Amino acid sequence: MTYSIPARVLADVAVVLRGRREIQRGFLVEGGERPVLALELDARPASVEEARANVQSVLPILAAPLGKHSTRIGFVVGGPEEIAVTAADVAPFYERDSA
């Protein structure tokens, strides 16, 4: 059985992402072992440490809107190149310019 996140939860996540101007788009990538919330930054992180710090900085703000779902999904935060690979063929649930 595939785990999924309700649309209302993604809508709540999108509201929180509006406060993070460095996040360009958000995707929910399903179909793998677990869903992955992929967040696209304006630019690629300069190092692995910076990429790790980006993930750690968004986890606290996403905990409330995701609730119990936060422990059942994966997270990826990266630049346009990384997220294009991760979220190929997936429509964004959040886009900064349309928020």
6 pLDDT above the threshold of 80:
yes
Torsion 29-30-31-32 (CA) sign: positive
> How many domains are there within the chain?
1
99 pLDDT above the threshold of 70:
no
36-79 pLDDT, tens digit per residue, is: 999 999 888 888 888 888 888 888 999 999 999 999 999 888 88
Is residue 2 domain-resident?
no
Is residue 27 domain-resident?
yes
C-alpha distances out from residue 33 to 25, 27, 30, 54, 80, Å:
23, 16, 8, 23, 23
Look up the CATH number of the domain holding residue 60: 3.30.300
Residue for token digits 């190092």? 47
Is residue 11 domain-resident?
yes
Range(s) of the domain holding residue 65: 7-98
- Contacts with 91 (C-beta within 8 Å, 6 or more apart), sequence order: 27
Mean confidence (pLDDT) of the chain: 89
Cα-based torsion angle of the residue sequence 51, 11, 95, 44 in order, rounded to the nearest 10 degrees: 0
Is residue 70 domain-resident?
yes
1 pLDDT above the threshold of 80:
no
